Amino acid sequence: MDFQRFILLDRDGVINEDSPHYIRSPAEWIPIPGSLEAIATFTQKRIGVVILTNQSTIGRGFMTESDLDSIHQCMRHAVEQAGGRIAAIYHCPHTPEAGCDCRKPKPGLFLRFAQDFGVPLDGIPAIGDSLRDLEAALHSGARPVLVLTGHGQETRAALARSTLEGIEIQPDLAAFAASLGI
């Protein structure tokens, strides 16, 4: 599919319910109400949906790359059943202590996407539920959007104490899609 523009999404807490014990299997992957339909709306409007997600469960030894692939196959199938499509998924498997450049809040995943798709990041909406997501978007030049699902409520409170300004806030991914008028 030829996309006219893109949207960047965190996974846990934006598309699916988050868990303090991590999402380790397809059975634990539960979509947030309205998220699959929002992705379908983006797809129908030729907006490429790209997922950028920290998955330190791999680096911590809680699951393998193969386990993550199974979760992502489940997610892709659910999105396709709703009429949507995921253009690409980028993940960081490292723990915070690894010091890599791909773990959010560093912009490595964003930069890989921009290089692979040959697009500038300026102004591309990047939706997340954590300060890490928002900081990575800002560091890369994307447009950070906070959703109040997942850790979004705590993040909104943390924003009030941070130096980050001008962050768009939406109740959830479906509300963000509606705000675009599409």
Residue 20 CB coordination number (10 Å): 4
Q: How many Cα atoms sit within 13 Å of 22 on the Cβ side?
A: 16
Residue 49 per-residue DSSP state:
E
- 6 vs 100: CA distance, rounded Å: 25
- The values of phi and psi at residue 106, to 5°, are -70, 155
Active site residues: 10, 12
